[in-house]
Structure 1
Amino acid sequence: MLEQGRIGTRQLSILIFMMVVGDMMLIYPSVITSYAKQDAWICALVGVPLGMALMLMFLKLSSLYPEENLIQILRSILGFWPGNVVSVFYLFFFAIGASTHTREVGDFLTSQIFQYTPVRVIILMFVITIGWGLYHGLETIGRSSELLMPILIVFILVLAFCLLPQVDPSNVKPASDVGVVPILQGILISIIYPVGELIPIMMIIPYTLKQAHRTRDVLVAAGLGNLLLAILVTISLLVLGAFLTQHNIYASFVLSQKINIGGFFERIEAIMASSWLISTYVKAMVYLYAFTVGCAELFKLKQYRILILPVSLLIFGLSNLVSPNLTFIVITVVPYWIDWDTTLSIILPGLLLLVHMFKKRWKTKSSG
């Protein structure tokens, strides 16, 4: 196998939780509210069980070929050449995903905190960090995520509790007044963005130890991550209202700026930024890992570490090319990214399960 390290079920679950929260912690309230308006909190809550169902489909596909990663599964189901062609699409998605997350970090830090720092400096530092994590292997990625997750959870809970005095229930009225289509779009977003982007985890599942309750723990992790995002959406709507949530791309960051308890507990937005950086770092690192291991598998290499330097340089270049600025991401990338996620995270995995089922039945009939 390309990866000699192994992680446990708990580390896999934590990685999934961190990926669900990921970059969504900042931009998710704005994106879902732009479709469902004041009903975004309903869509976010409905998306929790549906997202767990999507995660179950990923696990089902992986369980059919327990020793194989996504690239190997594609070859096993579709055949060598068709499987390789589809693999290229997934690898391209992993590369663009890692580049986009890196670019998001650069745009956020240079627009909100380090206004006079060139964005390429931030991107270079971030790429070096995720490349360094990738070099140390899957076990190190899993252990570091264990250490970093409590910081993320504590801050989100602090954010929610400290904003309770500013909650205004009238901000979510009238309920169910935006129409059926916007609500359905909001529900699709609540499934696709948090959980649909977990498809790179199929490159990690084969290297997870076979422990009891793995399916249960993974589903709970995906559900809790999505529920945490739903809480952020609800708090954002109750405090800022639908209009301000929709038009503040970093709604969670704006919320952290509004915290003021007794005139001494305030200005904690730097902690918010740190928490978002942690979750986005883990997500970008998993995407880069999936791309690197996938390339090594595609070209039948004996190890993937020799690809880390060229892949990191590629991500650095793509991060500067994928988007010229934040406005481009909001206007151009976000509306079409959902179609890409839907194709690679729902349609293709569903078709793979159908092809596997038909092949199994065909073999049964032929042998009978």
Structure 2
Amino acid sequence: MLEQGRLGTRQLTTLTFMMVVGDMMLIYPSVITSYAKQDSWICAFIGVPLGMALMAMILKLCSMHPEKNLVQMARSILGFWPGTFFSCFYLFFFIIGASTHTREVGDFMTTQIFQYTPIRIIILMFVIVIGWGVWHGLETMGRSSELLMPVVIVFIVVLAVCLLPQVDTSNLKPVSDTGVVSISQGILVSIIYPIGEVVPIMMILPYAAKQAHQTRDMLIAAGLGSLILATLVTISLLVLGAFLTQHNIYASFVLSQKISIGSFFERIEAIMASSWMISTYFKAMIYLYAFIVGCAELFKLKQYRMLVLPASILVFGLANLVSPSITFIVITVVPYWVDWDTTLGIILPGCLLLIQWLKSYRKSSVTPNNSQQ
């Protein structure tokens, strides 16, 4: 197999959690509030069980081909050439996803923290780090996420608790006044952004050790990640209100700037930035890993490490080309990214699952007839 390392269930669940939270920790409140306004907290909490259902669908598809990654699965279900063409859509999605997450890091750091540092320097440093992580293999990635996930969770809990004195429940009114269409769009965003972007996990599952409760733990990790994001949305609405949440791209970062307890525990936004960088790092690294392993599988290579350097250079170039500014991402990329995630995160996996079910049903119906003859 291309990957010799093996993930335990704990490492697999922590990687799943990191992918769900990922870059959404900062931008999710702004994105979902732009659709559902003050009712975005309702959409976010409704999206938790629905997102777990989507995760269950993805895991069900993988369980039908437990030893195959996404490329092998597509070729097995659709045939060699249709499966190869189908896989190319996902490989393009993986490389663009890694590049976009890298660009998000560059835009955030140069607009909020290092205003006078060229964005290409930030992007180059981030690409070197994710490339180095992919080079060391899947097992190292899993163990690193296991060590760093508590940092992300603890800070989000601290953020929520420290902002309780500034909560204003009137910011949630009027409830359910945004219309059915807006709430439906908010629910779709609450499903597709956190969970729909976990599709690269299908490139990792074949290299995880088969242990008890693996599916249950991954569903819990996906649900916990969605619940944390829903909590961030609610806190953001309660403290900032719908208007400020919608128009602050990095709403969670703004929230961390508002923490002030006893005139000594304040200005902890650097910790928020560090937590977001950790989760985004793992998400971008898994996207890059999925692209590299997918290309190696597509071209029947014996090992994937020879592709790490050229793929990292490609991510660096695309991260500089994917958008000219953060404004372009917010106005142009984000509205269409929902459709892209919906296609690749719900529709195409659903089609694969349906085709596999039809093939299994046809095979099971033909077998009794042959035995009777």
Fold match (TM-score > 0.5): yes
Partner of 2:314: 314
Question: d(CA) in 2 for partners of 1:253 and 1:365?
Answer: 57
Tell me by how many angstroms 1:45 deviates. 0.2
Partner of 2:229: 229
Tell me by how many angstroms 1:265 deviates. 0.7
Q: What TM-score, normalized to structure 2?
A: 0.98
Partner of 2:355: 355
Partner of 1:77: 77
Alpha-carbon displacement from aligned partner over 1:74-106 (angstroms, at most 9, x marks no partner): 000000000000100000000000000000000
Any unmatched runs of 5+ in structure 1?
none
Partner of 1:289: 289
Tell me by how many angstroms 1:358 deviates. 1.4
User: What residue identity is the alignment partner of 1:238?
Assistant: L
Alpha-carbon displacement from aligned partner over 1:309-338 (angstroms, at most 9, x marks no partner): 000000000000001110000000100001
Question: d(CA) in 1 for partners of 2:18 and 2:361?
Answer: 38
User: What residue identity is the alignment partner of 1:180?
Assistant: V
Question: d(CA) in 1 for partners of 2:139 and 2:225?
Answer: 22
Partner of 1:299: 299
Q: Are 1:192 and 2:189 counterparts?
A: no
Partner of 2:43: 43
Alpha-carbon displacement from aligned partner over 1:139-160 (angstroms, at most 9, x marks no partner): 0000000111011011101100
Tell me by how many angstroms 1:357 deviates. 1.3
User: What residue identity is the alignment partner of 2:199?
Assistant: I
User: What residue identity is the alignment partner of 2:361?
Assistant: R
User: What residue identity is the alignment partner of 1:43?
Assistant: C
Matches within 5 A, 1:148-167: 148-167=148-167
Partner of 1:343: 343
SS for the counterpart of 1:36 is helix
Question: d(CA) in 2 for partners of 1:106 and 1:41?
Answer: 29
Tell me by how many angstroms 1:196 deviates. 0.4
Partner of 1:14: 14
User: What residue identity is the alignment partner of 1:242?
Assistant: A
Partner of 1:243: 243
Partner of 2:280: 280
Alpha-carbon displacement from aligned partner over 1:254-282 (angstroms, at most 9, x marks no partner): 00000011111111000100000000000
Question: d(CA) in 1 for partners of 2:13 and 2:224?
Answer: 10
Cα RMSD of the aligned pairs, angstroms, is 0.6
User: What residue identity is the alignment partner of 2:216?
Assistant: R
Partner of 1:32: 32
Question: d(CA) in 2 for partners of 1:13 and 1:235?
Answer: 26
Any unmatched runs of 5+ in structure 2?
none
Matched length: 368
Tell me by how many angstroms 1:362 deviates. 2.2
Partner of 1:142: 142
Alpha-carbon displacement from aligned partner over 1:205-234 (angstroms, at most 9, x marks no partner): 011111000111000000000000000000
Alpha-carbon displacement from aligned partner over 1:289-323 (angstroms, at most 9, x marks no partner): 00000000000000000000000000000000001
Q: Are 1:100 and 2:105 counterparts?
A: no
Question: d(CA) in 2 for partners of 1:355 and 1:24?
Answer: 32
SS for the counterpart of 1:111 is helix
Q: Are 1:206 and 2:196 counterparts?
A: no
User: What residue identity is the alignment partner of 1:161?
Assistant: V
Tell me by how many angstroms 1:360 deviates. 1.7
Partner of 1:216: 216
Identity of aligned residues (%): 78
Tell me by how many angstroms 1:365 deviates. 3.3
User: What residue identity is the alignment partner of 2:12?
Assistant: L
User: What residue identity is the alignment partner of 1:323?
Assistant: S
Partner of 2:333: 333
Question: d(CA) in 2 for partners of 1:100 and 1:188?
Answer: 21
Question: d(CA) in 1 for partners of 2:358 and 2:135?
Answer: 40
Question: d(CA) in 1 for partners of 2:347 and 2:155?
Answer: 36
User: What residue identity is the alignment partner of 1:104?
Assistant: E
Question: d(CA) in 2 for partners of 1:301 and 1:14?
Answer: 29
Partner of 2:265: 265
Question: d(CA) in 2 for partners of 1:144 and 1:209?
Answer: 17
